[in-house]
Amino acid sequence: MNPLTFISDLRNHFNVNYSPTFIEASNSNIDSSVSIIIRQINLDFEILFIKRTTKETDKFSGHMAFPGGVKEKSDFDSLSTAHRETNEEIGLNSELNCDFLGRFSDYRPVNPEANKFIVSPFIFFLRNAHVDLVKCKEEVETLVWIPISFLMKNLGESNRVGTKYNKPYKDNVFEYKGYKIWGMTGKILYAFLLEIDDYYR
Question: Between vectors from CA 7 to CA 79 and to CA 196, what angle results, nearest 5°?
Answer: 85
Query: What CA–CA distance (Å, rounded) separates 147 from 21?
Result: 26
pLDDT in tens, 15-24: 999 999 999 8
Contact (Cβ atoms closer than 8 angstroms) between residue 139 and residue 53: yes
pLDDT of residue 159: 83
DSSP 8-state assignment for residue 122: E
Report the relative pairing of strands 68-70 and 98-103 from DSSP bridges.
unpaired
- Asked if residues 52 and 140 have their Cβ atoms less than 8 Å apart, the reply is yes
Q: Give the Å distances, CA to CA, from 183 to 50, 125, 129.
A: 14, 24, 28
Structural domains present in the chain:
6-200 (3.90.79.10)
Q: What is the pLDDT of residue 69?
A: 92
Tens of pLDDT along 24-69? 877 788 899 999 999 999 999 999 999 998 766 666 667 899 999 9
Residue 27: predicted pLDDT: 77
CB 89 within 8 A of CB 139: yes
The secondary element (H helix, E strand) that includes residue 183 is helix 183-200
Q: Is the pLDDT at 82 greater than 90, yes or no?
A: yes
* CA distance linking residue 44 with residue 185, whole number of Å: 22
DSSP character string of 16-48: II-----PPP-TT-EEEEEEEEEEEETTEEEEE
First to last CA, the chain: 5
pTM: 0.93
